[in-house]
Chain A
Amino acid sequence: MQKLATPSNRAQGRSLSKSTKYQASTATIDSSSESMMTAIDIANFNAFYGTFQALHDLNLKIPRQQVTAFIGPSGCGKSTLLKWCNRMNDIVPIAHATGSLKVGDRNILSRNTDVVDLRRQVGMVFQKANPFPKSIFDNVAYGARLHYKISRSELYELVEWSLKKAALWDEVKDRLKSSALGLSGGQQQRLCIARAIATGPEILLMDEPCSALDPASTARIEDLIFELRRQFTIVIVTHNMQQAARCSDRTAFFFEGKIVEEGATEDVFTRPQKQQTEDYVTGKFG
């Protein structure tokens, strides 16, 4: 595995304050400062569906500009945690959570969190590709149109940039106006990634983005994830341990609503500290 650990200053300088303007970084920041290295800071976090407690007292720091993988058997709560990171659980009426979940320096669980603003900064890619029944262009432009005052030419530039980032541009540049539903499954998923990065997020959450794809498409998405981490903090939930090993820097192993072990991917897979982790990564259960 190739490791590119140097974070770029450019992305780091982006402020996460509420009235964010996206500007190239001018400030010089001590990159060793721990709080600036942490994108998401989870402390004493509990999540519930009604009376069922899905997550128990989690503590986890997700570092910037790295890929963090959540692994674990189904029902262990990893998707739940991911969805709390941009408050997607707001759609579920019975879901609630306690503790602290900080993105930047804000506890996003607080009542007065602006979820619209939060979701601009914390983008999400879902298990199944879910393009809107619109043209490819309109799909990618969707978020930008929601969030920015933007001219047509700038929008075009942004769409092109995002599609290039998502490694889809060459395949769709001649048919931007045709329906996104005409794309193949893998292309649709990359379109969803392009759509997510076009809003200019700080963090990208990916909820098993490859689970519905064939191996070839999976490989392309994995490559993409590997490239994208230069600019985005990526959190990926996956069932597939090989995938976690291939494309993540850090790994957290979840079991029955708790984080059993967390650390550098290499360590978790090759030198697990806990018996449960070892059993899982070696395929004894899961």
Chain B
Amino acid sequence: MKDPINEPREYRNDARRKMFSSSFSVTCLLVSSLAIVVLATLLLSIFSTGGGWLSAEMLTASHRENNPEESGIGQAIIGSLVICTICGLAALPIGVGTAIFLEEFKPKNRFLRMLHGLVQLNINNLAGVPSIVYGILGLTAFVYMFGAFSPIRVNDQPDYEIGATYSYQTKTLGGNYVRFPATPKIQPFFEIKQPRQVSSSEGQPFKLNVVSATTDAAEYKDKLEETVILGTKAELTSHNGVESYTTQTLGGTTVFFKAEPTYSQFAKILEPLMVSDPEGNTFELNVLSKSDAIPTNPEVLSKSVFADSPDPTKRSSASIFRENSFFHMHLPFSKSVLSAGLTLALVILPIVIIASQEAIRGVPQTLREAAFGMGATRWQVVRSAVLPSAIPGIMTGAILAMSRAVGEAAPLLAVMGGVLGTTNHLSSLMDKTPVLPVTIFKWAGDENQGFEHLAAAAIIVLLAFLLLMNSVAIFIRYRYEKKLA
């Protein structure tokens, strides 16, 4: 009997196997290097397109329609910074808190452990949700707040608001503007512009639908009793002793809803009153009647208006004017930097959590034992032993997450729309603002060729900004590592 190992056999070709192996290594190297080629091409093409358009003016100017030569990214840079600050302030504490909870407060109870695992799985999954979905969530949850409040339209005051002062503004005969304070009053008429809760004369509450006059009301043909045409005027009346507005629906039912004091859009000026100009000077406004001669002295002219009258050429209408303080807030948040910042915070939250978890997991268990052994409570262990060691990792992760936020365009498009420029400077959290990535997106799609170069220049600024943030992350890591060693 011969051992099978001693059977004569041919060797497989060693040289060929070795050749395959080394040629595979070369292939790998070539394929991997493609990443470098791609990156280089990308940077080169962007620098060659936009490099020449970088200038101090471009960095400070704001968008001008059809005029790329004079457009710039001043507002966009500030907008991006503000939104990222809000995003960071919201996402970092919540993210780090969640990570601490998940890593350091693992429950013993089986059921709670399962819940704990589910939260973890959920976070990993959230990291894979497309950012545009977060954008839609931001639109629903922050901008419209699930429709819990009436939507905010231009020139309407929101239901819940702080930090805004209303006044009426009118133009004097001298051409300058003056203002006088406005007080909310119950108006004799109310224009129905949106669906609202009403009650029938029997007190039965229901939702009143609104159809635009042009829309075929067929859609609501079964519900005409509960439908009015957009802009229907409701009159002031007293219903069960409450000041209410009343109107008739298309179906002929009479409905009532409570009258709230509001600012009317326009105020009539009938007699002299105290006004102030934008510089803050207060003086009495002369009110001229139709028949009065128009004064010639410019000083007097700038303090005079016509009394309100049917004659449109000799009428001064004072219209509502809102001034927002820096802390101006209202519900819902509408399309504002606050909504945008919070939405971005949701986008980066899973990234912050996962990075912080990894940093916390990297803290050696012996440190925890040491603190526990001294009689520290779990939170004291976290605060004094775990967090100090995990901070560099957390900071690095946080900055990387923030750099993701800086470059996000899709959620901001959803939440603020494609804003390219605003007339006012960003003064409160409720303002809209252009941001860098959205600006780049809109410019890249602009038909005017100049904007293509401008978009490339804006990309260079954005990339420089990201590079800066990443360098800070590396610096922090390096410094802490040195300090701890």
Contact B374 A128 (CB under 8 A): no
User: Nearest CB to that of A95 among chain B residues?
Assistant: B108
Q: Which of B369, B377, B483 contacts A88 (CB 8 A)?
A: B369
In this assembly, does A195 line the interface, its C-beta being within 8 Å of a C-beta of chain B?
Answer: yes
**Per-residue CB proximity of B372-394 to A under 8 Å, as 1/0?**
11111100100011001100000
Contact B388 A119 (CB under 8 A): no
Give A46 to B274 CA distance when docked, in angstroms: 89
Q: Which of A93, A117, A196 contacts B374 (CB 8 A)?
A: A196
Q: For residue B372, which residues in chain A have a CB less than 8 angstroms away from its CB?
A: 88, 90-91, 119
User: Nearest CB to that of B113 among chain A residues?
Assistant: A93
Give A63 to B384 CA distance when docked, in angstroms: 34
Contact B388 A132 (CB under 8 A): yes
Q: Which of A93, A132, A147, A181 contacts B371 (CB 8 A)?
A: A132
Contact B376 A133 (CB under 8 A): no
In this assembly, does A179 line the interface, its C-beta being within 8 Å of a C-beta of chain B?
Answer: yes
In this assembly, does A161 line the interface, its C-beta being within 8 Å of a C-beta of chain B?
Answer: no
A132 and B373 in contact, given A93-B106, A179-B483 (Cβ under 8 angstroms): no
Contact B484 A130 (CB under 8 A): no
Ordered by A's residue number, 18 sampled pairs between the chains whose C-beta atoms are within 8 Å are A86-B373, A90-B372, A93-B108, A116-B376, A116-B377, A124-B369, A126-B366, A130-B369, A132-B370, A132-B371, A132-B384, A132-B388, A133-B388, A133-B389, A146-B375, A146-B380, A179-B483, A192-B370
Q: For residue A181, which residues in chain B have a CB less than 8 angstroms away from its CB?
A: 484-485
Q: Which of B367, B376, B380 contacts A130 (CB 8 A)?
A: B367
Q: Which of B364, B374, B484, B485 contacts A142 (CB 8 A)?
A: B374
Give A195 to B385 CA distance when docked, in angstroms: 14
Give A23 to B439 CA distance when docked, in angstroms: 71
In this assembly, does B322 line the interface, its C-beta being within 8 Å of a C-beta of chain A?
Answer: no
Contact A143 B374 (CB under 8 A): yes
Contact A142 B384 (CB under 8 A): yes
* Distance in Å: Cβ of B190 to nearest Cβ of chain A: 63
| Chain A at the B interface: SS class | helix
In this assembly, does B290 line the interface, its C-beta being within 8 Å of a C-beta of chain A?
Answer: no
In this assembly, does B368 line the interface, its C-beta being within 8 Å of a C-beta of chain A?
Answer: yes
In this assembly, does A177 line the interface, its C-beta being within 8 Å of a C-beta of chain B?
Answer: no
* Distance in Å: Cβ of B202 to nearest Cβ of chain A: 61
A132 and B367 in contact, given A93-B106, A123-B374, A143-B374 (Cβ under 8 angstroms): yes
A binding-site residues for B, Cβ under 8 Å:
86, 88, 90-91, 93, 115-120, 123-126, 128, 130-134, 142-143, 146-147, 179, 181, 192, 195-196, 199
Contact A124 B373 (CB under 8 A): yes
User: Nearest CB to that of B483 among chain A residues?
Assistant: A179
Q: For residue B364, which residues in chain A have a CB less than 8 angstroms away from its CB?
A: 130
Give A89 to B371 CA distance when docked, in angstroms: 14
Contact B367 A143 (CB under 8 A): no
Give A195 to B366 CA distance when docked, in angstroms: 14
* Residue from B370, B371, B375 with most neighbouring chain A CB atoms (10 Å): B375
Q: For residue A120, which residues in chain B have a CB less than 8 angstroms away from its CB?
A: 374-375
Contact B375 A119 (CB under 8 A): yes
Q: Which of A117, A119, A128 contacts B373 (CB 8 A)?
A: A119
Contact B373 A123 (CB under 8 A): yes
Contact B375 A126 (CB under 8 A): no
Q: For residue A93, which residues in chain B have a CB less than 8 angstroms away from its CB?
A: 106, 108, 113
* Distance in Å: Cβ of A237 to nearest Cβ of chain B: 14
In the complex, which residues 90-147 of chain B have their Cβ closer than 8 Å to any Cβ of chain A? 106, 108, 113
Give A142 to B371 CA distance when docked, in angstroms: 8
Contact A126 B369 (CB under 8 A): yes
Give A75 to B113 CA distance when docked, in angstroms: 28
User: Nearest CB to that of B374 among chain A residues?
Assistant: A143
Q: For residue B373, which residues in chain A have a CB less than 8 angstroms away from its CB?
A: 86, 88, 119, 123-126, 196
User: Nearest CB to that of A192 among chain B residues?
Assistant: B370
User: Nearest CB to that of B110 among chain A residues?
Assistant: A93
Contact A119 B369 (CB under 8 A): no
* Residue from A124, A125, A147 with most neighbouring chain B CB atoms (10 Å): A124
Q: For residue B369, which residues in chain A have a CB less than 8 angstroms away from its CB?
A: 88, 91, 124, 126, 130
Contact A195 B485 (CB under 8 A): no
* Distance in Å: Cβ of A91 to nearest Cβ of chain B: 6
* Residue from A115, A116, A123, A181 with most neighbouring chain B CB atoms (10 Å): A116
Q: For residue B380, which residues in chain A have a CB less than 8 angstroms away from its CB?
A: 146
Q: For residue A90, which residues in chain B have a CB less than 8 angstroms away from its CB?
A: 372
* Distance in Å: Cβ of B484 to nearest Cβ of chain A: 5
Contact B375 A147 (CB under 8 A): yes
Contact A128 B484 (CB under 8 A): no
User: Nearest CB to that of B108 among chain A residues?
Assistant: A93
Give A181 to B364 CA distance when docked, in angstroms: 14
User: Nearest CB to that of B376 among chain A residues?
Assistant: A146
Contact A146 B374 (CB under 8 A): yes
What 7 A-B pairs are tightest by C-beta distance, nearest first? A119-B375, A124-B373, A130-B366, A143-B374, A120-B375, A130-B370, A116-B375
Q: For residue A88, which residues in chain B have a CB less than 8 angstroms away from its CB?
A: 369, 372-373
* Distance in Å: Cβ of A130 to nearest Cβ of chain B: 4
**Per-residue CB proximity of B458-485 to A under 8 Å, as 1/0?**
0000000000000000000000000111
* Residue from A88, A130, A147 with most neighbouring chain B CB atoms (10 Å): A130
A117 and B375 in contact, given A133-B388, A142-B384, A179-B484 (Cβ under 8 angstroms): yes
Contact A134 B388 (CB under 8 A): yes
Q: For residue B485, which residues in chain A have a CB less than 8 angstroms away from its CB?
A: 181
Give A130 to B365 CA distance when docked, in angstroms: 9
* Residue from B367, B371, B389 with most neighbouring chain A CB atoms (10 Å): B371
Given A130-B367, A133-B367, A199-B374, 20 other A-B residues pairs in contact with their CB atoms under 8 A: A91-B368, A91-B369, A115-B375, A119-B373, A119-B376, A120-B374, A120-B375, A123-B373, A124-B369, A124-B373, A126-B369, A130-B369, A130-B370, A142-B374, A142-B384, A143-B375, A146-B375, A146-B380, A179-B483, A192-B370
Contact B374 A126 (CB under 8 A): no
Contact A199 B375 (CB under 8 A): yes
* Distance in Å: Cβ of B371 to nearest Cβ of chain A: 7
* Distance in Å: Cβ of B157 to nearest Cβ of chain A: 53
Give A123 to B366 CA distance when docked, in angstroms: 15
* Residue from A90, A115, A142 with most neighbouring chain B CB atoms (10 Å): A142
User: Nearest CB to that of B484 among chain A residues?
Assistant: A133
* Residue from B364, B369, B389 with most neighbouring chain A CB atoms (10 Å): B369
In the complex, which residues 367-426 of chain B have their Cβ closer than 8 Å to any Cβ of chain A? 367-377, 380, 384-385, 388-389
Give A91 to B365 CA distance when docked, in angstroms: 10
